């Protein structure tokens, strides 16, 4: 039985009449890499702030390591939360941040942190307030990885990082995760880049959870068909179409549902081109397309 690391039950955070997080329930298990996905302002950061006890929920239940996280040192000492806009005291240098992290994180690996600092080319003696956006992000990534915290959360950790530094982060994450398994949460909009890393996906849209599924099963969840309008319409009748686009006298349609060989044969017989949909496309269709579908239903 896998241990439950995070349990949300009907979690809601309201500001007046606005529900930033609306009745969200999910479980995160130990030793898994989760993607917490969604557009900016969807409620992802609010959820992470409640899990890490930086915000109180308005209602609902929240357990982390089986306990309430608020003012609970036993729980908080097992969490590392890397925010995109982490603030540090002005006098701190990079080396000070790395040294002081040892007192926050029981599993801190100093040698590993220093070797990562070298790989990310960080000037250890430079003051935090003098760092570029990318260097600040690198420091956060190093703290997150070297903390080896049983629950490590990265909230958009790579502002200002170039593609080389981002792929270094992904490589080190996978490598260290396989040596020291823990629960990792990546909250990001760079879905294509992380889709091969994620083992489970949670998609938040306008404060509600619209997807909570293993990444593996999501990979075959939707297909795009292209062909003459009549053929596409005949094939998609009765199916859940999440996106449709006319293109001259052709139409492309994205359909939710698992495909078997029979379906594929039928599509080919109708002269339709078929292609799988990437996780990023799926998320875009589900978060944009939902609005379009609502409008269509109301229209």
What is the rounded CA–CA span in Å between residue 132 and residue 235?
Answer: 53
Q: Over the Cα atoms of the chain, what is R_g?
A: 22
> Which of helix, strand or coil describes residue 133?
helix
Question: What are the pLDDT digits (tens) for 183-223?
Answer: 999 998 888 888 889 999 999 999 999 999 998 888 778 88
Count of CA atoms in the C-beta half-sphere (13 A) of 116: 30
Q: What percentage of residues in the chain have a pLDDT greater than 90?
A: 64
Name the band, by pLDDT with cuts 50, 70 and 90, for residue 297. very low
Question: What are the pLDDT digits (tens) for 42-89?
Answer: 899 999 999 999 999 999 999 999 999 999 999 999 999 998 778 888
Question: What are the pLDDT digits (tens) for 82-126?
Answer: 987 788 888 999 999 999 999 999 999 999 999 999 999 999 999
Question: What are residue 33's phi and psi, to 5 degrees?
Answer: -105, 120
Of 87, 13, 16, 14, the residue nearest 48 (C-alpha): 13
What is the rounded CA–CA span in Å between residue 225 and residue 127?
Answer: 54
What is the rounded CA–CA span in Å between residue 126 and residue 103?
Answer: 21
For the whole model, what pTM was predicted?
A: 0.87
Mean pLDDT over each residue of the chain, to the nearest integer: 90
What is the rounded CA–CA span in Å between residue 4 and residue 1?
Answer: 9
Contacts with 272 (C-beta within 8 Å, 6 or more apart), sequence order? 225, 226, 227, 231, 232, 235
What does the pLDDT read at residue 42?
86
Residue 282, pLDDT > 90, answer no
What does the pLDDT read at residue 289?
57
CA angle at residue 192 from 121 to 208, to 5 degrees?
A: 110
């Amino acid at each position: 039985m896998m241990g439950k690391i995070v349990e949300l039950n009907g979690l809601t955070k309201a500001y007046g009449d606005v529900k930033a997080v609306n009745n969200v329930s999910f479980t995160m298990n130990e030793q898994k890499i989760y993607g917490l996905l969604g557009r900016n302002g969807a409620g992802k950061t609010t959820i992470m702030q409640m899990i890490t006890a930086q915000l109180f929920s308005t209602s609902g239940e929240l357990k982390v390591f089986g306990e309430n996280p608020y003012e609970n040192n036993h729980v908080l000492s097992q969490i590392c939360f890397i925010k995109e806009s982490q603030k540090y005291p002005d006098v701190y240098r990079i080396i000070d941040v790395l040294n002081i992290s040892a007192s926050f994180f029981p599993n801190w690996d100093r040698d590993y942190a220093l070797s990562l600092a070298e790989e990310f080319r960080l000037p250890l003696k430079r003051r935090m307030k003098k760092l570029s956006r990318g260097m600040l992000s690198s420091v956060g990534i190093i703290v997150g990885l070297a903390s080896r915290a049983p629950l490590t959360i990265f909230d958009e950790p790579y502002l200002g990082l170039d593609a080389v530094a981002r792929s270094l982060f992904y490589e080190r994450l996978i490598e260290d995760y396989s040596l020291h398994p823990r629960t990792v949460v990546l909250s990001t909009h760079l879905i294509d880049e992380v889709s091969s890393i994620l083992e489970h996906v949670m998609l938040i849209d306008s404060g509600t959870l619209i997807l909570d599924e293993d990444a593996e099963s999501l990979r075959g969840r939707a297909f795009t068909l292209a062909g003459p309008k009549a053929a596409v319409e005949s094939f998609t009748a009765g199916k859940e179409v999440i996106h449709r686009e006319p293109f001259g006298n052709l139409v492309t349609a994205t359909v939710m549902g698992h495909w078997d060989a029979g379906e594929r044969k039928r599509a080919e017989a109708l002269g339709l081109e078929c292609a799988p949909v990437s996780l990023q496309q799926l998320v875009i269709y589900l978060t944009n397309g939902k609005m379009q579908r609502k409008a269509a239903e109301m229209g």
